Amino acid sequence: MNRTILLLSAIALLLTSCAKKIDGTTEESLKASIKEINKSLDNEKRKKFEESMMLIMVHGLDFEKLIEDGGAKETFPDLKTKLDGKTADEIIAEGDKIKAEIEQKKKEQAKGEIGELYQKQEQAEK
């Protein structure tokens, strides 16, 4: 029984270590590795991967800094660092995390707006 568990653990470790990872060392290697990962995914997972990549790219961007001279060049290394060494599953998980944060912010904003409406209603009734 213990040997079976050990064997299954070893196989799982080998399978996860063989997953393709993003290489963020250079712009060229980043693009090539993303393209290679994208090609290896089925349609459903590819869609999630691409959506997550977009979320990661725009999440936390300082748009004022981006439009300054050289801002795009300064922003790119941050993206390479965020993506370097991640697998498709890790990228999708990060995208899901960002989506959850966005949904939470929307809920908080809606609660605040509802509270303001109740206050306005109370003031109007006085």
pTM of the model: 0.69
| Enclosing domain of residue 50 | 2-125
pLDDT (tens digit, 9 = 90+) per residue, 76-99?
667 788 899 999 999 999 999 999
For position 58, what pLDDT does the model report? 85
For position 102, what pLDDT does the model report? 92
pLDDT (tens digit, 9 = 90+) per residue, 13-64?
555 445 789 998 888 999 999 999 999 999 999 999 999 999 998 887 766 7
The helix or strand, by DSSP H or E, that contains position 25, with its residue range, turns out to be none
Number of domains in the chain: 1
Q: Select from 85, 99, 91 the least CA-distant residue to 50.
A: 91
